[in-house]
Structure 1
Amino acid sequence: MKLFLVAGEASGDRLGAALMEGLKTLAPGVAFAGVGGPLMQAQGLQSLFPMDELSVMGIAEILPKYRKLRRRLHQTAEAVLADPPDALITIDSPDFCLRVARLVRARRPEQRTIHYVAPSVWAWRPGRAAKMAEVIDHVLALLPFEPPLMQAVGMSCDFVGHPVVAEPRATAAEAQAFRETHGIGKAPLILVLPGSRRGEVGRLGPVFGAALGLVVAARPEARVVLPTVAHVAGAVRAMAAAWPGAPVVVETADDKRAAFAAADVALAASGTVSLELAANAVPMVIGYNFNRLTWEIIKRRALIDTVTLVNLVSDTRVVPEFLGPACRAEAIAPALLRMMAAGPERAAELDAMAVTMQRLGAGGEAPGLRAARSVLGALGHRA
């Protein structure tokens, strides 16, 4: 069996890697091709080109890179058509991935297609599901309330759980060793996560740094740790050099896991990182800002009053978030200070995070294996 996978950003790379691992367990001999990052490559994928070329978010941010993205789009579709797989599996990044599927289907209508991560039609642009159904046969959903929304427009869909519930976490001993190695001791540890895209780091870094200045002024013993990824590590290090809290930047998987386990609180960009923090029971404050044009468009089309997945899955609004014009240091800092205290706001977040993990499949079969089983079932293969 041959499968062509396409992921466009770090979160998709994690999903794709877990899926590949599950497929190799259930269908030994499966072959992979496509586009992916380091985790998918570690599972045996030879990426057509560096995945981080696709890690662009926002309308205004995409425009300067349009021509290059268009070339990569056609290159990917041609690779599928040159050696047709049993299924084209696109993973998140719908602006790129679904265009690949459309190009392929236009020239090979019989091509089976699967998309991993249902579009968030419950959040904005509900018509996306019907449009996606024109080129996608089957969907792997991360959230338990999504399958009916996909099935309503003609696609089959399985809830496969969120891989965050099965990701390895550091032990208490590893967390303590991390603190000792970096001279943190018993000081309050603030995780800072300004995103995995260069644009995010550039926009959020100055705001997060200013917020930390206010927090450390009130809690001078606090220390700061920034887990990051290789392609933005240089920018993060340069940015954090002038920050308070003696920042420590970590890149390796082991160090990042230990940092999450050791943290007392986090200041993070909006995204799937909120679920990683929830899995490690780290109370958080969320901040995010778009280019002004992108923000105005999203604000007008949004169907929900929160973007934080912990708030959505737990059906609460206990995670403070500061979005668009509200993403300001003087607003973020007090919320972060309150979350550092052992009070009702922190306790409410911890409860919501526990509910979130349970609803996303914690304690059940690994989501990567569930996703693999769903793929094989959709293709009529017996595991």
Structure 2
Amino acid sequence: MRVFLIAGEASGDALGAALMAGLKTLAPGIAFEGIGGPLMEAEGLQSRFPMEELSVMGLMEVLPKYRHLKRRIAETAEAVVAGKPDALVTIDSPDFGLRVARAARAGLAGLRTIHYVAPSVWAWRPGRAVKMAEVIDHVLALLPFEPPYMTAAGMTCDFVGHPVTTVPLATTAEAAAFRARHGIAPDAPLVLCLPGSRRGEVARLGPRFGAALDLIARDLPGLAVVIPTVRGVAGQVREMAAGWSTRPVVVDSAEKAAAFAAADAALAASGTVSLELAANAVPMVIGYDFNPLTRFILRRIVRHDTVTLVNLVSGTRAVPEFLGEVCQPAPLAAAVLRLLRDPAARAAQEDAMALSMDRLGRGGEAPGLRAARSVLAAIARG
């Protein structure tokens, strides 16, 4: 059996790696081809080109790279057709993956197509599910309320749980060792800064987050700031953070779990990282912004009053978020300071985070294994 996988960013790489591990357990001898990052490569994938080429988001971010991405779509579709896999699995990054699926199906009749991570049609652009159904047969959903939206559009869909519920957490001893290793006092307030995994996000949010942390440090002497980062933006993050007065510690994925366990609060970009923070019970403030044109368009099509996954899954609004024009240093700093000082605000988040993890499948079968079962069943249906 052969499966072609496509992931375009760090969160997709994690999903793909867990899926690959599950497929290897259930279908020994399975072969993989496609595009992925370091985690998928560790599971045996030889990425056709660096996954980071696809880590762009927003209209103005994509336009300068349009011709290059178009070439990558064509060559990836050609590889799918040539390889004749039992299934094509596109993981998140729909702007790239679904275009590849459309082109590949045109060249390979009967290709089974699966998309991992349902589009957020409950939040904006409900017509996307119908359009996706033109090229996708089956969907693996991370959120428990998503399958009805997908089946209504004409695709089969399984809720497979979220891998964040199975990520190993660092111990108290490991958290203490992390602080000691980086010269952070045991009682010093430690705030995580997570400005995103895409270069555009880091460029747009990093300066605002840095300025917010400077404001927090004025009120909290001894503040420690840690920035966990990923391969594709590590150099950019280090260069940016070197100019901050808080002198943040920048760590890679090897120290991420310990950093989360050591933290008192986090200032983070919107996205999957909010669930990672929830899994580690780290209270958070969310900030996000696009360029002005993308912001203008989204303001007219977004259907929800929150974009933070913890809020959506828990059905609460416990996590404060600052989007668009209000994503500015002063309100971000005030919200983080409140989390550090107000036990009631922290308790509300802790309850919402615990509820989110339970609803995402904590304690059940590993999502990667559930996803693998769903993929194999979809292939068997033919």
Sort the TM-score into its range (normalised by shorter chain). over 0.9
1:18 aligns with 2:18: yes
TM-score normalized by the length of structure 2: 0.98
1:83 is matched with 83
1:198 is matched with 199
1:336 is matched with 336
Pairing of 1:176-255 with structure 2 (within 5 A): 176-185=176-185, 186-253=187-254, 255=255
Write the letter of the residue equivalent to 2:34.
G
1:57 is matched with 57
Deviations 1:261-296 (A, max 9, x none): 110000000100000000000000001110100011
- Structure 2 unaligned blocks of 5 or more: none
CA-based RMSD = 0.9
1:158 aligns with 2:189: no
Deviations 1:206-258 (A, max 9, x none): 101110111000001110000001221111111111223331000132x1110
1:299 is matched with 299
Given that 1:6 and 1:90 are in contact with CA atoms closer than 8 Å, whether structure 2 keeps it comes out as yes
Between the aligned partners of 1:269 and 1:16, the Cα distance in structure 2 is: 22
Between the aligned partners of 2:192 and 2:120, the Cα distance in structure 1 is: 27
How much does 1:318 deviate? Answer: 1.1
Between the aligned partners of 2:8 and 2:270, the Cα distance in structure 1 is: 17
Task: Report SS of the residue matched to 1:144.
Answer: coil
Structure 1 consecutive aligned stretches of length 4 or more whose deviation exceeds 6 Å: none
Between the aligned partners of 1:334 and 1:2, the Cα distance in structure 2 is: 52
Given that 1:16 and 1:40 are in contact with CA atoms closer than 8 Å, whether structure 2 keeps it comes out as yes
Write the letter of the residue equivalent to 1:41.
E
1:261 is matched with 261
Between the aligned partners of 2:253 and 2:149, the Cα distance in structure 1 is: 38
Between the aligned partners of 1:233 and 1:155, the Cα distance in structure 2 is: 38
Between the aligned partners of 1:245 and 1:365, the Cα distance in structure 2 is: 42
Task: Report SS of the residue matched to 1:33.
Answer: strand
With 338-347 and 118-127 compared, the bigger mean Cα shift is at 338-347
Between the aligned partners of 1:329 and 1:63, the Cα distance in structure 2 is: 29
Between the aligned partners of 1:27 and 1:250, the Cα distance in structure 2 is: 36
Given that 1:220 and 1:245 are in contact with CA atoms closer than 8 Å, whether structure 2 keeps it comes out as no
Write the letter of the residue equivalent to 2:271.
G
Between the aligned partners of 2:29 and 2:120, the Cα distance in structure 1 is: 34
Write the letter of the residue equivalent to 1:189.
L
How much does 1:333 deviate? Answer: 0.7
How much does 1:203 deviate? Answer: 0.5
How much does 1:38 deviate? Answer: 0.7
Fraction of identical pairs, as percent = 71
Between the aligned partners of 1:207 and 1:73, the Cα distance in structure 2 is: 34
How much does 1:109 deviate? Answer: 3.1
- Structure 1 unaligned blocks of 5 or more: none
Deviations 1:10-42 (A, max 9, x none): 110000000000000111000000011111011
2:365 is matched with 365
Deviations 1:102-121 (A, max 9, x none): 10112223111111001110
TM-score normalized by the length of structure 1: 0.98
Between the aligned partners of 1:209 and 1:83, the Cα distance in structure 2 is: 47
Write the letter of the residue equivalent to 1:290.
F
Aligned length: 380
Deviations 1:55-104 (A, max 9, x none): 00000110000000001000100000011100011100001100000101
